[in-house]
Amino acid sequence: MKILAIDTSSKICSVAVLENDQLVDEINLDNGLTHSENLMPILAELLNKNALKLADFDLISCCTGPGSFTGIRIGVASVKALAEVNHLPVANVTSLETLARMDTSDKTKVAMIDARNNQVYCGIFDENYEKLEEFMADDIGQVIEILKKYQNSIFIGDGAVLHKDFILENIPNAEFCDFHEQRASFGGKMAYQKYLKNELETADTIVPMYLRKSQAERLKKENK
């Protein structure tokens, strides 16, 4: 099974090709939040490099968030168009699942994304990448109270890096992954797992997952 994976939920614009859950090739561009300009060119570059066309794929993986509001919208809209035109099923993969997939140990995986202003997006997963708690979007102080019961845990993501000292104050035996940046390849690995469990969607059903309102929406509400 050939999988095309796309992730624009962070500052990294990432596109990958996988055969089942094995990475074939990947392009990651860290050029600021200019995904609207970069996504299609690096997709074309990746396909040309590997002598592939969209008709060769069996599944497309879309990272639907949480993360950059603009990036998520670009990725979801692009995947919708690609899936619709090429009649491809879609695996809806969250950025928290993608981060969790970076660790292969038997530890509890805590994916944490910086949401600014001392807020984080957080997902907790077992060794099989199954969700243990509902996804959170809250102050790190509130989130850490829930995390205290997961002592045998490893933290992944830029939120974990930012709040590392605070996490260790509250969970002294917490471990941290060596790698923290979003990559489409890990989303593709999760997509294959969703395919095996028959948890696929279509171009019509995938929607962005924000977990909270954008800063512009929050400011608009506060100024009313």
Q: What is the CATH number of domain 2-95+182-222?
A: 3.30.420.40
- Look at residue 224 and tell me whether its pLDDT is greater than 70: no
Amino acid, res. 94: T
What is the average pLDDT value for the chain, to the nearest integer? 93
For residue 94, which phi and psi values (nearest 5 degrees)? -85, 160
| Average pLDDT score over residue span 198-222 | 73
- Contact in structure between 168 and 148 (CB atoms under 8 Å): no
User: Predicted confidence band at 211 (pLDDT cuts at 50, 70, 90)?
Assistant: confident
Q: Is the pLDDT of residue 223 over 50?
A: no
Q: What is the pLDDT of residue 213?
A: 59
Q: What is the pLDDT of residue 212?
A: 75
Give the residue with greater pLDDT, 12 vs 221. 12
Contacts (Cβ under 8 Å, ≥6 apart) of 117: none
Q: Which CATH topology does 103-176 take?
A: Nucleotidyltransferase; domain 5 (3.30.420)
**Residue 134 confidence (pLDDT) above 50:** yes
Tell me whether domains 2-95+182-222 and 103-176 share a fold: yes
Task: Determine the average pLDDT of the residues in 34-56.
Answer: 95
Ranges of each domain in the chain: 2-95+182-222, 103-176
Residue 137 near residue 66 (C-beta atoms within 8 A)? yes
Q: How confident is the model at residue 220 (pLDDT cuts 50, 70, 90)?
A: very low
Q: What is the mean pLDDT of residues 91-114?
A: 97
**Tens digit of each residue's pLDDT (9 = 90 or more) over 154-168:** 999 999 999 999 999
* Residue that the structure tokens 């002598």 belong to: 51
Please tell me the distance from the alpha carbon of residue 24 to that of residue 90, in angstroms, as a whole number.
Answer: 19
Q: What is the pLDDT of residues 188-202, one digit of tens each?
A: 999 999 999 999 999
Q: Which residues contact 161 (CB under 8 A, 6 or more apart)?
A: 176, 180
